[in-house]
């Protein structure tokens, strides 16, 4: 584990308020960009929470706050004190969020800061920090070089940096690359500052290079914008796997102890699934004092804490701990009466009548609406102690209770036992499942190293792999795995022998599947068919091969790098063969796809959101920007590759006859309704009785013509022989004989009469009536001559609206109106002006709002 100390020195001189170009677009203040850079460098240290990574912060050009200045003033007063306008804002300590708070609160000062004085204060902080030689110490100074400063202490600073072994990194804002000359168009102070730092870093580099050749500890002069761009890139967290000890057994000691070999070794994880940060594990606010609605509550709680002598900051935020409470419904029965005879034997996690972790399992809708959660907890539930519970297996619909010590576990011993060997080619790729582990010998045992190296060499030369049984700890579950030999050459005469261990599936883990051959097609009669739409042709296969070869990602350089042109000359091909191979190796390492650069978008986008929220006071006013291009790099095919295969793709589409699938049309199934001979019965026709003529107005035909008379009611006491008045019924109009279309209950000829008959009749046909009448209205309006059908259509809509409010069919009516509006306003409709009449009708036919629906429902309940 690395121990490190990094002290950041930030220039806050008045010149830092100036604007500079931002690589993300636009311009930004130099101080803001400097803060962002330091914050991004501290963010991974804060996220890791490691105690071995310490950070300090110094600012120069603002207030004066440092130990050397305070000591001088205490002894000599204000007479020429040292290190003016230099502030030690954060002492060296483990990385914590309050460091970012202090950083973001820095403001532009009024003095021209002296970076050499800031170096001296940072070195004082390093000297007072307790560390050993194992710690790596670095000072990063961020400045724009626009301030004039006294350079008299630079020699002492160089000596102290060399003596303490501190690496200095100077990051200049708008500095020129050290390899080129300083731009003469810059201000005099900036030109002198750049030249000073070039000479300072060069002299310090020569002095420190006498003791070490490693570039890690030597000083550097860097350009700010390139460093900020690197800091903004997504960086995967470096995780060191936990190293565990285990023994590798080859042969069985019980069979032949002389031939059995036991090699002590270590293992650790090579790969492990990384997961994004979970919000449930973060710190949550207990009292949101910034919310106006809760000011009284917050102030009341804070006053109580102050009166009790408690820390108010602990009430504002705190880490949430989960507490599980088990409940059982009072009077409830166990989930199974056969296998479980008492409530204490029921595993409450599997019973829907229990609450787990303070939350009830899903209940029926009626139960949820009847009782509130508080009422259920207080009235219907009884707490159960965990000691009174017994875990159970589910066996069909029953629960089998099992005590903790009922069955003895498998007697397994912590080890890696070699079961045998198979050719490496026989290991199917789909069989490799789970995480990968490193296996290497115990480095403290020479015998173990020799045995392990010989074992790896034997497997490597014979192209075999070892099938092993892996037990991570005693009495643990044994798993099958395969060990691949690997020889890693770290340099000349340096070879590291190791093995990769990957888990193999048991028979229970495999999922069988089968699909027919893609090249052979057998008919139902058993005859092989050579030409069929399912069998690819030679042309299609050749085009697909060409497409695959042209979409080779290794031919595409990484984003932001131009492809290097390869030049070869036949005349000197033999002379430059070795150099060409080295160049090819370098180019292969710089391809478009690399697992080292393929970051998880979910993880790093959440990290960006956390970082933005930690630095932004109002995320709503300053929302999170777009993701970094490297996060979305693998969302799409690289543009150069897509352009290269564009024409080939068109040819392949034609050869494969690929066409765009039309959108699936949603069919409306017509539900079968009452037929003409079903439904309402005429009792008089059923029993053969004469129709009632009471209060029936009839017309008598005679010479006078047109005289109306009222028919007298029939007298049941009259004898059959009596002559009864003859009543001639009025001829039925064609509308009376109208029939509804198939699937409907309402006819197009007399829709309003049919609708009222359905609504006032028996049976719950309100929704069906509204749907049918809406369809009739659309058809009648579309078939109307001029505007003749408009009044009747509006009357129908008004009747539909009244029914919808009365019988709670608001959604049905609103859906019908939306459908009607789409139809009327669609291109080609015969009477688009109908919608003007609809709007003029106003609230009589308008859509039903939520307020109207609630008011109608309340009136109905009140009535």
pLDDT in tens, 709-740: 444 444 444 444 444 444 344 444 444 456 78
- What local confidence, expressed as pLDDT, does residue 331 receive? 60
pLDDT at 318: 56
Instruction: Determine the Cα–Cα distance for residues 749 and 211; give it in Å rounded to an integer.
Output: 105
What band does 378 get if pLDDT is binned at 50, 70 and 90? low
**Cα–chain center distance at 77:** 60
Tens of pLDDT, residues 503-543: 999 999 988 888 778 888 888 888 888 888 888 899 999 99
Is residue 327 within 8 A of residue 355, CB to CB? The reply is yes
Dist CA 65 CA 89 (whole Å): 8
On the question of pLDDT at 669 being above 70, the answer is no
* DSSP-assigned letter for residue 506: -
Closest CA to 833 of 782, 795, 792: 782
User: First-to-last CA distance in the chain?
Assistant: 77
Give percent above pLDDT 90 in the chain.
Answer: 40
d(CA 777, CA 754): 13
Least confident of 322-331, 568-577, 755-764, 845-854: 568-577
Give all domains of the chain, ordered by start, each with its CATH number. 3-232 (3.40.50.410), 243-282+413-511 (2.40.290.10), 326-401 (no CATH), 736-862 (1.25.40)
CB atoms within 10 A of CB 713: 11
Range list of β-strands (E), 472-554: 479-491, 494-503, 521-522, 528-529
For position 560, what pLDDT does the model report? 65
Contact (Cβ atoms closer than 8 angstroms) between residue 84 and residue 63:
no
pLDDT at 72 over 90: no
CB crowding 96-114: b at 16 or more within 10 Å, else e: eeebbeebbebebbebbbb
Neighbouring-strand partners of residue 284: 318
**37-57 per-position pLDDT tens digit:** 999 999 999 988 889 999 999
Query: What single-letter DSSP state applies at residue 627?
Result: P
Residue 36 to residue 775: CA distance in whole angstroms: 63
- In this model, does residue 464 exceed pLDDT 70? yes
pLDDT band per the 50, 70, 90 thresholds, residue 860:
low
- Taking CB atoms within 8 Å and a gap of at least 24, the contacts of 32-36 are 33/173, 33/224, 33/228, 34/10, 34/142, 34/173, 34/224, 35/10, 35/103, 35/104, 35/106, 36/228, 36/231, 36/615
Write down how long the chain is: 863
Count CB-CB contacts under 10 A for residue 323.
7
Backbone dihedral angles phi then psi of residue 481, each to the nearest 5 degrees: -155, 165
SS3 content of the chain, % helix, strand, coil (to 5): 40, 20, 45
Rounded average pLDDT over 630-649: 90
Smallest CA-to-CA distance from 603 within 637, 629, 631, 624 is with: 631
Residues 245-302 have pLDDT tens digits of 999 999 877 777 778 899 999 999 999 888 887 775 444 444 333 333 344 444 554 4
Q: Which of 478, 412, 420 is nearest to 252 (CA)?
A: 420
**Which pLDDT belongs to residue 606?**
92
What is the rounded CA–CA span in Å between residue 118 and residue 83?
7
- Residue 169 in contact with residue 138, Cβ under 8 Å? yes
Instruction: Answer yes or no: are the C-beta atoms of 251 and 261 closer than 8 Å.
Output: yes
Is 399 within 8 Å of 335 (Cβ atoms)?
yes
Q: What is the mean pLDDT of the chain?
A: 79
Q: Tell me what pLDDT residue 760 has.
A: 83
Side-chain half-sphere of 385: how many Cα atoms within 13 Å? Answer: 2
Where b means 16+ CB within 10 Å and e means fewer, 285-310 reads eebeeeeeeeeeebeebbeebeeeee
Higher pLDDT residue, 288 or 670?
Answer: 670
Q: How confident is the model at residue 479 (pLDDT cuts 50, 70, 90)?
A: very high
């Amino acid at each position: 584990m690395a121990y490190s100390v990094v002290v950041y020195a930030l220039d806050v001189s008045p010149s830092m308020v100036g604007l500079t170009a931002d690589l993300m677009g636009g311009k930004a203040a130099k101080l803001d960009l400097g803060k962002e850079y330091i914050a991004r460098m501290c963010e991974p240290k804060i996220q890791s929470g490691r105690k071995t990574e310490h950070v300090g912060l110094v600012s120069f050009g603002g207030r004066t706050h440092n130990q050397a200045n305070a000591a001088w003033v205490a002894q000599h007063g204000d007479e020429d004190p040292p290190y003016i306008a230099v502030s030690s804002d954060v002492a060296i300590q483990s990385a914590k969020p309050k460091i970012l708070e202090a950083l973001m609160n820095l403001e532009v000062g009024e003095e021209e800061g002296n970076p050499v004085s800031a170096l001296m204060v940072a070195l004082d902080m390093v000297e007072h920090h307790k560390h050993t030689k194992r710690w790596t110490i670095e000072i990063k100074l961020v400045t724009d070089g626009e301030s004039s400063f006294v350079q008299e202490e630079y020699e002492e600073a160089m000596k102290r940096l060399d003596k303490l072994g501190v690496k200095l990194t100077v990051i200049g804002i708008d500095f020129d690359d050290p390899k080129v000359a300083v731009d003469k168009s810059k201000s005099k102070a900036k030109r002198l500052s750049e030249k000073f730092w070039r000479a300072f870093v060069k002299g310090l580099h020569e002095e420190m290079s006498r003791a070490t050749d490693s570039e890690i500890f030597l000083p550097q002069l860097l350009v700010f914008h390139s460093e900020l761009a690197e800091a903004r890139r997504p960086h995967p967290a470096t995780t060191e796997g936990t190293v565990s000890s285990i023994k590798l057994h080859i042969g069985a000691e019980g069979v032949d102890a002389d031939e059995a070999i036991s090699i002590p070794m270590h293992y650790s994880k090579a790969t492990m699934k990384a997961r994004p940060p979970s919000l449930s594990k973060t710190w949550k606010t207990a009292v949101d004092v910034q919310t106006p609605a809760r000011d009284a509550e917050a102030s009341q709680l804070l006053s109580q804490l102050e009166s009790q002598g408690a820390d108010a900051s602990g009430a504002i935020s705190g880490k949430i701990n989960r507490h599980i409470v088990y409940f059982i419904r009072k009077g409830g029965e166990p989930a199974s009466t056969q296998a479980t005879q008492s409530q204490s034997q029921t595993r409450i996690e599997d019973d829907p009548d229990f609450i787990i972790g303070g939350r009830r399992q899903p209940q029926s809708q009626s139960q949820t609406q009847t009782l509130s959660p508080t009422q259920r907890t207080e009235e219907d539930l009884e707490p159960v102690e965990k000691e009174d519970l017994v875990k159970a297996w589910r066996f069909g619909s029953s629960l089998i209770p099992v005590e903790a010590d009922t069955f003895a576990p498998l007697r397994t011993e912590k080890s890696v036992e070699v079961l045998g060997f198979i050719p490496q080619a026989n290991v199917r790729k789909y069989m490799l499942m789970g995480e990968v582990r490193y296996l290497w010998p115990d480095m403290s045992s020479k015998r173990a190293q020799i045995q392990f190296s010989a074992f790896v060499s034997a497997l490597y030369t014979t192209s075999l792999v070892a099938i092993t049984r892996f037990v991570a700890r005693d009495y643990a579950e044994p798993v099958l795995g395969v060990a691949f030999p690997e020889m890693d050459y770290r340099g000349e005469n340096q070879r590291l022998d190791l093995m990769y261990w990957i888990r193999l599936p048991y028979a229970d883990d495999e999922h069988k599947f089968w699909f027919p051959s893609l090249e052979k097609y057998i008919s139902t009669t058993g005859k092989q068919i050579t030409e069929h739409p399912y069998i690819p042709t030679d042309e299609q296969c050749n085009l697909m091969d060409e497409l695959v070869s042209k979409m080779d990602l290794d031919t595409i350089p990484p984003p932001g790098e131009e492809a290097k042109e390869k030049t070869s000359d036949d005349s000197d091909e033999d002379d430059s063969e070795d150099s060409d191979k080295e160049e090819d190796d370098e180019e292969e390492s710089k391809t478009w796809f690399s697992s080292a650069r393929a970051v998880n978008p979910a993880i790093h986008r959440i990290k960006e959101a956390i970082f933005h929220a930690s630095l932004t006071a109002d995320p709503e006013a300053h929302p999170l920007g777009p993701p970094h291009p490297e996060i979305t790099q693998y969302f799409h095919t690289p543009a150069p590759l897509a352009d290269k295969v564009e024409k080939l793709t068109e040819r392949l589409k034609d050869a494969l006859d690929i066409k765009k699938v039309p959108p699936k049309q949603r069919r409306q199934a017509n539900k079968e309704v009452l037929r003409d001979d079903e439904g309402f019965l005429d009792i008089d026709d059923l029993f053969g009785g004469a129709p009632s003529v009471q209060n029936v107005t009839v017309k008598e035909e005679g010479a006078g013509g047109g005289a109306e008379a009222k028919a007298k009611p029939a007298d049941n006491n009259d004898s059959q022989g009596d002559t009864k008045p003859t009543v001639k019924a009025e001829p039925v109009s064609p509308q009376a004989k109208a029939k509804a279309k198939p699937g409907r209950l309402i006819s197009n000829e007399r829709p309003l009469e049919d609708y009222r008959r359905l609504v006032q009749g028996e049976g719950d046909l309100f929704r069906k009536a509204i749907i049918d009448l809406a369809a009739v209205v659309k058809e009648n309006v579309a078939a109307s001559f001029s505007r003749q059908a408009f009044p009747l259509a509006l009357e129908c809509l008004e009747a539909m609206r009244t029914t919808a409010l009365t019988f709670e069919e608001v959604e049905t009516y609103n859906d019908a109106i939306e459908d009607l509006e789409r139809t009327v306003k669609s291109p080609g409709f015969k009477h688009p002006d109908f919608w003007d009449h609809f709007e003029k009708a106003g609230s009589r036919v308008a859509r039903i709002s939520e307020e109207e629906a609630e008011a109608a429902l309340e009136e109905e309940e009140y009535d």
